[in-house]
Chains A and B, each alone.
Chain A
């Protein structure tokens, strides 16, 4: 580039200008080509190579991260070759475009596509149908594959799915309530303790553990041995020490649906740390004068907690509660690993997985996904309203 420009200055002739133009075109074409070639070679290497696993891992990481950076650089390079006016018009889309395209592909359009899938029978769309081509709709709707709302009807009438809905309601009620209550309790106590940092760290620690890991941890807590052998699970050991008989808690069908509580406990264990961190920050934001004023007026600590602290951090409580509700609504890993949905413990997300990928019934699976989406719509509206009130734009 620089050399071309200096040539242009010295000669000032038509030939030089032509050369400069050719150079630009050359750069605009050849660099992207090289970039794409590099990305393609990387892809082929990753797909077919027999290199040691760690080499592939390193190449994959460099290729993945570097490839994305390279794409931005190339597209930006092309746009910067254009005239000022076009550059100003196009550059924002180079920045925003990839992100929006991915969001569109992975979240926005699937809503529409999954909705269509939920109207068809288990094998999906009939031949020749496309959700993007309206003229292909009428024929498909007359075919046997089109079942209308009967997937939704089936969902609410089938016993297993009703059970999943009932369990999920339990998850939402108990999971969110106990997480919020314990989170608040720990936040308030830690705030007054000299051991605040240590205790908060330890309660927060399960946040770093995967659901699968937590399932193993709690399976071990619930482990049951025949009554005559020593118990190796903490809970049954306590029960036996107190004179009871050992039980396989979460798989204890006799107490269904209450055996779900033993699964919910795991998620409470994981989520209290999250609630605690947010409450702790909110509590520290309460002005000291407010609390002092309460104490001067003769309120005791309990009264201060309920009539000053709680109202003051109500916004945070609602946020945390909503987050945990959304979270428990989609709970999957814990149930899938602990019981596989047996013993009356299926939830919506495990049924979604079972229907979509095990039973290969994309119709019912999609209908379940749509129901999941509908239940979060109030939160979506709330978010949008908050956004409009902030007037960030």
Chain B
């Protein structure tokens, strides 16, 4: 019985560990790579920063000095082989030493390599500097030519993302909270019909709105402005916000409202002084949800912010990078991490609220 429990423990935690590893490796690889030197990234896997065994040349020998005959079988450093075998590299029987003939028959040399434990523990902040500061950097290549890599100025995009995301989070919450309050605690004709519209709009895909709204923005001269994208995110997030906040505000005790009314408070005062403070958990849940949504959004920014490079948000900049610098992993990894840092911070510090928001309902259009 005890043995069985042990097997169960191993099975549960073993499979879980495997899943966690598989899930973490992609992010970990990106994170480590973003601190690696440009050359290192291109020539070796990021996992080489961990201790691993690698062939290291310990001695270079001249076959002539050793008096070896390249046409016959040669014996060097405890291994034997013909020229063609040595060209491929011959390992000693214990596998610790490898002898390789480098070069041609006449002028070649013999390298003796041994497997040693090494780490490629060589980190730099250069990638982040390049991505964030927007300075052009000169890189001297192996063949001596100098290449100028244009800076990426992600700082600008980061500021833009903040300018887009903060109002796009607060505005829908404010508007939705007023509406939710009215739906929950005020009586007016059409209340039921209007709320049914809200519920119906919960899953409407935002693609349906892009072309008409873009047309409206063109007429209003709003295209490419922050106001345009705030309103768009507000429109697309509002149904869910109203629905979630309504479900929460409805559950607040009705006595509070009534006693406040007797004290002569108006709806506006009750809303500002009582309902908003009491709804903080629900507001926070939705705020995190919406903030991550807006920060990580690509499509809405692509359509409404347009191609003006000074307005681009981080997701756009990163997508541009993958297009133009698809193989410059030192830029891509650092750039990707710059876009992820804020959501990850929000996520880790406010995970409980985020989870609560998800549990409250997450069908979004």
Contact = CB atoms under 8 A, between A and B. Distances in A.
A303 interface: no
User: Looking at A91, A189, A301, A365, which has the most chain B CB atoms within 10 Å of its CB?
Assistant: A189
A105 B188 CA distance: 22
A103 B347 CA distance: 28
User: Looking at A103, A105, A117, which has the most chain B CB atoms within 10 Å of its CB?
Assistant: A103
A65 B204 CA distance: 26
B250 A114 contact: no
Given A108-B201, A230-B43, A330-B207, A274 B179 contact: no
A110 interface: yes
Contacts of A332: 298-299
Contacts of A205: 23-24, 27, 344, 347
Interface in B166-196: 166-167, 170-171, 174-176, 178-179, 181-183, 186-188, 191-192, 194-196
B365 A72 contact: no
B132 interface: no
A110 B19 CA distance: 43
A110 B209 contact: yes
B332 interface: yes
Q: How large is the interface on B (under 10, 10 to 19, 20 to 34, 35 or more residues)?
A: 35 or more
Interface stretch (A56-64, A139-147, A165-173, A255-263): A56-64
Interface in B329-357: 329, 332-333, 335-336, 339-340, 343-344, 346-348, 351, 355
A98 B175 contact: yes
A185 B211 contact: no
A221 interface: yes
B13 interface: yes
Interface in B86-120: none
Interface string B275-311: 0000000000000000010011111001100000000
A46 interface: yes
A82 B203 CA distance: 39
B150 to A, nearest CB: 19
Contacts of B343: 208-210
B175 A99 contact: yes
A357 B226 CA distance: 20
A95 B359 CA distance: 27
B45 A57 contact: no
Contact of A234 (B47, B167, B178, B246): B47
Nearest to B295: A210
Interface stretch (B60-68, B71-79, B122-130, B156-164): B156-164
A185 B340 contact: no
Contacts of B209: 106-107, 110, 114
A57 B163 contact: yes
Interface stretch (A2-10, A15-23, A379-387): A379-387
Interface stretch (A28-36, A155-163, A190-198): A190-198
Contacts of B163: 56-57, 60-61
B51 interface: no
B254 to A, nearest CB: 14
B45 A231 contact: yes
A10 to B, nearest CB: 23
Q: How large is the interface on A (under 10, 10 to 19, 20 to 34, 35 or more residues)?
A: 35 or more
Contacts of A105: 213, 216, 235
B200 interface: yes
Contact of A383 (B160, B296, B363): B363
A68 B181 CA distance: 17
A347 to B, nearest CB: 12
A102 B13 contact: no
A38 interface: no
B208 A372 contact: yes
Contact of B179 (A96, A232, A380): A96
User: Looking at B191, B209, B326, B343, which has the most chain A CB atoms within 10 Å of its CB?
Assistant: B209
A66 B272 CA distance: 14
B84 interface: no
Given A117-B212, A210-B298, 17 more contacts: A106-B236, A109-B212, A113-B212, A114-B209, A199-B20, A205-B347, A208-B340, A209-B27, A211-B298, A212-B298, A217-B26, A217-B29, A278-B358, A329-B205, A330-B206, A336-B319, A376-B204
27 contacts: A53-B156, A56-B163, A61-B166, A65-B167, A95-B267, A96-B183, A98-B178, A99-B179, A103-B201, A110-B211, A111-B204, A189-B16, A208-B292, A209-B343, A210-B315, A212-B318, A213-B339, A216-B332, A217-B30, A219-B322, A220-B30, A232-B329, A332-B299, A352-B207, A376-B203, A383-B200, A392-B250
Interface of B: 8, 12-13, 15-17, 19-20, 23-27, 29-30, 33, 41-47, 156, 159-160, 162-163, 166-167, 170-171, 174-176, 178-179, 181-183, 186-188, 191-192, 194-213, 216, 225-227, 230-232, 234-236, 238-239, 242, 246-247, 250, 266-268, 271, 292, 295-299, 302-303, 315, 318-319, 322, 326, 329, 332-333, 335-336, 339-340, 343-344, 346-348, 351, 355, 358-359, 362-363, 365
The 8 A-B residue pairs whose C-beta atoms are closest, nearest first, are A106-B235, A210-B296, A64-B167, A99-B179, A92-B188, A95-B182, A208-B347, A110-B209
Interface of A: 43, 46-47, 53-54, 56-57, 60-61, 64-65, 68-69, 72, 76, 80, 89, 91-93, 95-96, 98-100, 102-103, 105-111, 113-114, 117, 182, 185-186, 189-190, 192-195, 198-199, 201-213, 215-221, 223, 229-234, 237, 269, 272, 274, 277-278, 281, 301, 319, 322-323, 326, 329-330, 332-333, 336-337, 349, 352-353, 356-357, 362, 365-366, 368-370, 372-373, 376, 379-380, 383-384, 387, 392-393
